[in-house]
Each structure stands twice: as structure tokens, then as C-alpha cells.
């Protein structure tokens, strides 16, 4: 029997990268998945996968979140994966970049968690997993001003939910990856002009001398979503190739 057999999970940003690897890993472990993403093209890659249903969802649209969660009142697991990287310091982070970082990285999790929690409580419990980053309150990373601030906010949101609901069978944890080879990381490396030196810079952050894979993050997510993790809540789960050791 799979480690997530009998569970129903909704995952945001499931069309690519860590979200997609997690949707596939959760489904292999027997969960029924609502894989959501802003991109129909990205979701198309998951169509036809056993145990996975796809739904368009832009996490910056509160009305769409409310509508979708109403149609899934029986979720056991919410995995908030969607995030956006603004590259820059406070000096180069305009108000639009700041507002977008807050909206995609933090307010989205407020909206989805608020939509999922009452139903989880009504049916006896649930798991909320939030994607943070080591670039947060764990460590300051250069040119990650708005990203680091909002990912630190994700840790605060996670701990606050965990504290309020620990006695009511809701577990809420944060995952903090180091640098992971995903389509968006590839985009960030290309955007820096010199792809090879950008790649070397990103690899150098990990003492293991390599980038992480989306599957390595998905393994941790499977554990945290499963009943095997029944005694962990409000915790920062670092998976970073030794970056912050």
C-alpha cells in the first residue's frame, strides 16, 4: 500500500519543477491529486497520469482559489508550491516587484490555507505544506531581497498555523530547499547573460558541489505529507546540499 493511500492532495504550481515532481511522487504513493497551475501547457504534461486530475489555478486570484476549494471540501493535504523570484537588492526592488513577491509567495498561501482549513478541521485534520527556501530567515542570499523577505514570511505563516492548530490534528510545515535544477532556475541562469558562470555560481552555494533535483525535494514532501511525519509540525525542513550547514 502506498504511503499516501487514501489521501487527497491539492498542489499549486504543479505543472513544472518541484510541484510536478511532487504531484508525480504523491500519486505514486497512492494519493489522489488535484494538480493546479497557472499554465495549461504545463499541466498538459500531467494529463493521463494515474491518480492526477489537473485544474487551472492562478494563486494570485483569490476568487479562483475560493471557487476551486469549494469544489474540493475533502482535501487531506494542501501543498503550497507556487513562488516567484525577484532578482535584486532593496535598491532595485521597486514597489511593483515587492507587491508581486508578497502576492505570489505569501498572500497566496494565506488564501489557500484559509480556504482549506475549515474543511480539514471539519473532517478531523489535515496537512499543510508550504514551500519556503533557505533564502529566507535561514540565510541571507545576495540579490534575493524580496524573495528572502517573503520566504521568511512563509516560515512565520507556517509556524503560526502550526501553533494555532497543533491540538486539532492539523500539521503545518515548511520546506526550505537550496538550489534545485528546475525550469525556473534554468531561466534565471540564462537571464544572467553568461549561462556557464551563472550555473557555476549556483552550484558553488552547495558544498555537495551540485544542484538538487526536484525529486529530492519531492521525497521530503511525501514524508511530511504522510502519517510517518505525525510528530512534526511548525518546523523548518532544510534540504540544501549542505549550503546552510
* 109 touches ligand NAD by CB under 6 A: no
Whether residue 147 lies in the annotated active site: yes
* 82 touches ligand NAD by CB under 6 A: yes
Q: How far apart are CA 33 and CA 124, in angstroms?
A: 19
Q: How far apart are CA 110 and CA 19, in angstroms?
A: 18
Q: DSSP letters of 98-114?
A: HHHHHIIIIIHHHHHHH
- Angle of CA points 42, 107, 121, to nearest 5°: 95
Using CB under 6 A, count the residues that bind ligand NAD. Answer: 29
Q: Exactly one of 25, 31, 81, 149 binds ligand NAD (CB under 6 A); which one? A: 81
For the chain, the first-to-last Cα distance in angstroms comes to 36
Within residues 171-230, the interface with ligand NAD by CB under 6 A covers 177, 179-180, 182-185, 214
Q: Using the minimum distance from each CB to ligand NAD, give the nearer residue, 93 or 104.
A: 104
Q: How far apart are CA 4 and CA 127, in angstroms?
A: 12
Q: What are phi and psi of 108, to 5 degrees?
A: -60, -40
Q: Using the minimum distance from each CB to ligand NAD, give the nearer residue, 44 or 166.
A: 44
> In this structure, are strands 77-80 and 52-56 parallel, antiparallel, or unpaired?
unpaired
User: H helices of the chain, where?
Assistant: 17-28, 40-44, 62-70, 95-102, 108-122, 145-165, 183-191, 195-204, 214-225
Q: Using the minimum distance from each CB to ligand NAD, give the nearer residue, 24 or 37.
A: 37
Q: Exactly one of 28, 53, 58, 208 binds ligand NAD (CB under 6 A); which one? A: 58
Q: Exactly one of 4, 9, 10, 13 binds ligand NAD (CB under 6 A); which one? A: 13
Q: Cβ contacts of residue 160 below 8 Å, gap of 6+?
A: none
As given in the structure block, the three cell numbers for residue 206 are: 552547495
Q: Exactly one of 34, 65, 83, 116 binds ligand NAD (CB under 6 A); which one? A: 83
- 53-61, 92-100, 137-145, 224-232 -> range binding ligand NAD (CB under 6 A): 53-61
* 133 touches ligand NAD by CB under 6 A: yes
Q: Exactly one of 25, 27, 104, 220 binds ligand NAD (CB under 6 A); which one? A: 104
Within residues 136-175, the interface with ligand NAD by CB under 6 A covers none
Residue among 110, 147, 165, 223 flagged as catalytic: 147
- Positions that interact with ligand NAD (CB under 6 A): 12-13, 15-19, 37-39, 42, 57-60, 81-83, 104, 131, 133, 177, 179-180, 182-185, 214
Residues forming the active site = 147
Amino acid at each position: 500500500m502506498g504511503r499516501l493511500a487514501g489521501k487527497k492532495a491539492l498542489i499549486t504550481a504543479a505543472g513544472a519543477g518541484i510541484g510536478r515532481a511532487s504531484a508525480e511522487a504523491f500519486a505514486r504513493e497512492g494519493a489522489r491529486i488535484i494538480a493546479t497551475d497557472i499554465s495549461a501547457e504545463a499541466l498538459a504534461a500531467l494529463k493521463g497520469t494515474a491518480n492526477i486530475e489537473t485544474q487551472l489555478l492562478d494563486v494570485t486570484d483569490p476568487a479562483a482559489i475560493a471557487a476551486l476549494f469549494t469544489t474540493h471540501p475533502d482535501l487531506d493535504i494542501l501543498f503550497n508550491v507556487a513562488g516567484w523570484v525577484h532578482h535584486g537588492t532593496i535598491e532595485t526592488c521597486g514597489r511593483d516587484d515587492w507587491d508581486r513577491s508578497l502576492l505570489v509567495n505569501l498572500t497566496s498561501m494565506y488564501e489557500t490555507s484559509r480556504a482549506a482549513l475549515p474543511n480539514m478541521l471539519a473532517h478531523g485534520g489535515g496537512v499543510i505544506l508550504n514551500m519556503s527556501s533557505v533564502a529566507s530567515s535561514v540565510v541571507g542570499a545576495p540579490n534575493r531581497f524580496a524573495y528572502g523577505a517573503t520566504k521568511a514570511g512563509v516560515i512565520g505563516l507556517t509556524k503560526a498555523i502550526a501553533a494555532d492548530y497543533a491540538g486539532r490534528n492539523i500539521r503545518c510545515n515548511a520546506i526550505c530547499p537550496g538550489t534545485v535544477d528546475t525550469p525556473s532556475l534554468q531561466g534565471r541562469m540564462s537571464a544572467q547573460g553568461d549561462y556557464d558562470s551563472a550555473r557555476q555560481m549556483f552550484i558553488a552555494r552547495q558544498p555537495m558541489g551540485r544542484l538538487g533535483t526536484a525529486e529530492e525535494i519531492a521525497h521530503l514532501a511525501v514524508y511530511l505529507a504522510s502519517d510517518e511525519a505525525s510528530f512534526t509540525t511548525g518546523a523548518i525542513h532544510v534540504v540544501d546540499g549542505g549550503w546552510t550547514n
